[in-house]
Amino acid sequence: MTHAAVFAHRPLAALPAIRPPAILAKVLSKSKREVRLRQLADHYVQLVARILRNAGTADADIDDDVQRVFIALSNRLDDVRVGAEKAFLVQTALNMAAHSRRAAARRRETLTERPPEVGDIAVGPEEMAERRQVRRTLDQILCAMDADLRAVFVLFEIEEMTTVEIAAILEIPTGTVASRLRRARSDFRERVAMLEGLPKTEVG
């Protein structure tokens, strides 16, 4: 029987209503999960990499640690409500970076051996334009900061999050965030002032 004959015998209007079978529903459910994961990776890979880097993960470990963060998300995806993925990723990245710093310390391969001091890396603005030098200096300053202060500083000053967002992510009161931020900014400015060879400035 030709195709024409088949269609002549069974007009389109007479076709039964299409219902997706159970296996298709299962495939679609898996696809939805994959779509969600892929979208999250598209949106947040760079954010996670940046947070890891600024929170103390060595450049060479960024690739692996970003993957670990997303694998952690993938394992817990069903528990993470829609809209809360960013907070989960940031929190995991901060934990991962803390782990990375501890591992680096054990290997005696920390990014910096000591905090910057006056006369050590005293460079002018022109030289600071050299990005590698700037990056190294930023690493040294952040590395010298207390881990709790550093997390708040990175999220507020570099990731431009609000104190309310930071409080939700770190699961601490906003007052604590404000106080840590104040101390972190004071620490940061003090160290930059030392680099500039200027006396300590009052920090707002």
Partner 1 sequence: MDDPERILDQTTSAIERALLREGRAYRAPDALRPHTLAALGLAGSAGLPASVFAWLSARSWTTKLVLALSTVTLLGAIPLRYIRFAQNAPPARTASPVLVGMPLPTPAGPTSPAPSIAVPHPAPARPMDPPAAPPPAPARVSATTSSALRAELAALDAVRSTLANDDPAGALSFLAAYFRTFPRGRLHFEAEVLRIDALAKAGQLNIAQRYAQEFLKRHPNSVLTARVRPYAEP
Instruction: Please report how close the Cβ of residue 120 comes to partner 1 at its closest, in angstroms.
Output: 14
Buried/exposed code over 86-112 (b: 16+ C-beta within 10 A; e: otherwise): bbbbbbbbbebbbebbeebeeeeebee
The smaller minimum CB distance to partner 1, of residues 1 and 105, is found at 105
Which residue in the set 147, 158, 168, 172 belongs to the binding site for partner 1 (CB under 8 A)? 158
The total number of residues shown for the chain amounts to 204
The smaller minimum CB distance to partner 1, of residues 91 and 167, is found at 167
DSSP state of 172: S
Which residue in the set 86, 99, 183, 189 belongs to the binding site for partner 1 (CB under 8 A)? 189
100-to-62, 74, 132, 196 alpha-carbon distances in Å: 10, 20, 21, 30
According to CB under 8 A, which residues from 69 to 88 bind partner 1?
70-71, 74
Closest CA to 192 of 114, 126, 140: 140
Q: Measure CA of the first residue to CA of the last residue in the chain; give whole Å.
A: 86
154 lies in the binding site for partner 1 (CB under 8 A): yes
Residues 11-30: x where in contact with partner 1 by CB under 8 A, - otherwise, as a string: -------x---------x--
The smaller minimum CB distance to partner 1, of residues 84 and 164, is found at 164
As given in the structure block, the two tokens for residue 122 are 């005293």
Report the SS3 class of residue 129.
Answer: coil
144 lies in the binding site for partner 1 (CB under 8 A): no
User: By the 8 A CB rule, do 189 and 201 touch?
Assistant: yes
The smaller minimum CB distance to partner 1, of residues 113 and 160, is found at 160
Binding site for partner 1 (CB under 8 A): 18, 28, 31-32, 34-35, 37-39, 41-42, 45-46, 49-50, 53-54, 62-64, 66-68, 70-71, 74, 125, 128-129, 131, 134-135, 137-138, 141, 154, 156-158, 160, 162-164, 174, 178, 181-182, 185, 188-189, 192, 195-196, 204
